[in-house]
Structure 1
Amino acid sequence: MSGGVPVTIPRVPAREAAEDELSKAVYHQNDPGLLQRALSWLWRNFADLMDSASGVAPGGAVGLVTVIVLVVVLVVVLRLRLGKLRAQPTADSGLFAETPRTAAEHRTAAEEHARNGAWTVAVQERMRAIVRALEERAVIDPRPGRTADEAVVDAGRHLPDHAAALRDAARTFDDVTYGNRPGSPEAYAALRHLDTQVERAKPRFAEAAAGATGGARP
């Protein structure tokens, strides 16, 4: 009312009324979205972290950037030199599957995969053929869950002339099976040649037995 006593509103109701008014959507049409706000928050925190790190790093911000670049280069060099990390065989990662197959069946499967250019599986099947043939000839005892490395160690005792080649074959099998390295025609050809050589080799059981007993004299 003109000339009357001015109308006053208590502080708390006035603040609440203002908050209600400002909460209306019409005042927030141009506000940044949730994603934009999250990115802004991350950037602010990253910038604060970089500022703090550059304050203690030798050379300030330039020194910090140099350290980061050196770390990245080191990681790249190690990755190129060492290759992909090789998974360790687990307790249930034996050489053979649960369904038993003969050496001839493994060879047939290997040749079929080789004709189709599936070199990784061909290498695996050829290695299985080698070990299965050794078991069938009683050069080594059949053992469930045996790994390729264990098989060639046992076989090498009776076939010392082929021990090194057998170890190389087991390493190739591990590389393609656990190291995710692809098989190749060259790797398969080497295993096929070894399969033929081992098949013709005569085991030296007497020498292995003497070595196991330490060559004790009567």
Structure 2
Amino acid sequence: MQAERYFGSYARFDTKSKKDAAPLLGADNAVGDAFDIVFLSEEGVSVAWLKNRFDRLVGYFNAEFSRKLHILSARGWTVKAFLSFVAYTDSPEPGQYWGEVAVVCYDPALKEPFSQFEKALSRRLADGVRPDIDLGEQGVDQIVRSGGTWQPKATQPFPEKASGTVILKSRRTFSESLIEQGRKKNKGCYVISWAFLLVLAVGVVLALKSCGAF
């Protein structure tokens, strides 16, 4: 029997406060973005946190899932997460920002094909698609044989919306895509992104003026 070499699952993360959650709504944490997972000791318990590419901690997992990830990390596996959506629930007071990420963990021997797999996974999440990443050995074999180009056809639905809950972002916006291109030194897209934001700002001002705000 072949040894376990992969784990994939969608998992909920929570935030400490509204203030701490604010960056999740901006372009620094776009849907499809990759996050590192780091472990911090809190009251003697190891808690897994999401850290974005700007070294900011943006959310944490519950104790059970943190324990699972800690075990896989201790094996030397690659442990990564990709943002699927951000939500807000208004009760209990004062409300809670939370979300889900696609968590992908694998043996380092699979690094080359899975690096390619992750790129496609990121793009699909950015488009609002949630591929089923509970692959099983057959799925892992297909990724390896294809050099990482194979993607599962099955998808996972978004959670059912509970009363008082709204999904704030579940796909990458046009402006976030332009900003990302600017960060990649695509000068044309960088200029367009600033032009877009300028037009948007002017539109807001005109709308407020028409409403008699000033």
Name the TM-score, length of structure 2 as normaliser: 0.20
RCO comparison, higher one (Cα < 8 Å, 6+): 2
Higher strand proportion: 2
Higher helix proportion: 1
Computing the radius of gyration from Cα coordinates, the structure with the larger value is 1
